Amino acid sequence: MTAPILYTDVLAARDRLRPFFAPSPVREYPLLNELVGYGISVFVKHENHLPTGSFKVRNGTSSITALTAEQAARGVIAATTGNHGLGLAWAGAARGVSVTICVPKGNNPEKNDGIRSFGATLIEAGYRYDETVAACRAIAEQEQRTIVHSTNHREVLTGAGTMSAEFLEQVPELDAIVIALGGGSQAVGALVVGAEVRPSLKVYAVQSQGASAQHDAWHDGDARSGAPVQTFAEGIATGSTYDLTFETLRAGLADFVLSSDKMIAQAVRDLWRTTHNLAEGSGATGLAGLRLLAPRLAGQRVGIVMCGGNLDAQRAVVILGGGTPGL
């Protein structure tokens, strides 16, 4: 398997991240094991306990700390719907680097407020994500800022890889990991780290049926761009494949499955009941995927990642009341 990053790159990122925050905890919950069944031991990696409530703070901090002095002086910019922007904004504040974040109009207001709270400049541009990206590029050129793409950026991938490096230290005997997939940074990180530390580790990906571009491309080999997206799980609401992750995912994933938004909403409720942690949609998608894969993983030690806990209040009311946002 060829990959855009090396295990040594992940170790270098860990060294850069170490001064900023501690490893996220891993916990096993008897009620969750009982729910999943099939004799599976489920280990939850609580990335929702990191600063900003998401694994994306790893990606942002890895990227910010890898800047040259000249790049840091000019600042960075990114297009995002939330968690990537929060991670960059937090890391920029921690290192004193100017950050500008472009979001679509009508973006999650709570994530917008969070981004601003860390001192970043937030610009609402375009109603579609591709329009936001175009605005981001124009501002970057005008202000000579470094663009930090949420997926197509090596240091974003190395930052995501630090999560799996920690996970396999905390649970060295892990047999499989089920990861919600948007751009693919977490899954690529798991594949790179697993190949070095635990070659027997199987990495599975799961995506929403309403945002299936990566899943469909993985199965038929044809890259996607601008495919329709309709899911409340905004952290995995991607309609494209990405140059830095696509081939590695195709070569390395053990399987790639789709979950309905109803199943993802149920997974949010199940995680609340069994762990008393409130996951956002993407943060619960790993559990939704595990429920689909459970018969194949019987008797194994399986990791899932609560990759984000930034569920907005409006969606939380709908989900915890038994509904599914958008349905």
* CA dist., res. 231 & res. 326, Å (int): 8
Predicted model pTM: 0.96
Residue 50 is encoded by which pair of tokens? Answer: 């990191």
What is residue 82's predicted lDDT score, i.e. its pLDDT? 86
Domain boundaries, the chain: 7-55+153-320, 56-147
When computed from its CA atoms, the radius of gyration of the chain, rounded to whole angstroms, is 18
**% residues pLDDT > 90 (the chain):** 93
CATH 1.10.3720.10 corresponds to the domain 56-147: no
pLDDT of residue 59: 98
pLDDT digits (tens, 9 = 90+) for 212-269: 999 999 999 999 998 999 999 999 999 999 999 999 999 999 999 999 999 999 999 9
> Distance (Å, rounded) from C-alpha 9 to C-alpha 28?
29
Give pLDDT tens digits for 173-212. 999 999 999 999 999 999 999 999 999 999 999 999 999 9
* Mean pLDDT computed over every residue of the chain: 96
For residue 254, the one-letter residue type is A
Asked if domains 7-55+153-320 and 56-147 share a fold, the reply is: yes
Strand pairing class (26-28; 41-45): antiparallel
CATH number, domain 7-55+153-320, options 3.40.50.1100, 3.30.1330.100, 2.60.40.1120, 2.60.40.1250: 3.40.50.1100
Q: Look at residue 129 in the predicted model and tell me its pLDDT.
A: 77
- Residue in the structure block whose two tokens are 């990791």: 303
Rounded CA-CA distance 307/40 in Å is 20
Task: Give the DSSP letter of residue 301.
Answer: E
> Percentage of residues in the chain with pLDDT exceeding 70?
100
- DSSP letters, 61-123, are HHHHHT--HHHHHH-EEEE-SSHHHHHHHHHHHHHT--EEEEE-TT--HHHHHHHHHTT-EEE
Which residue in the block uniquely carries the two structure tokens 């407020």?
113
pLDDT tens string 76-130: 999 998 899 999 999 999 999 999 999 999 888 888 999 999 999 999 999 877 7
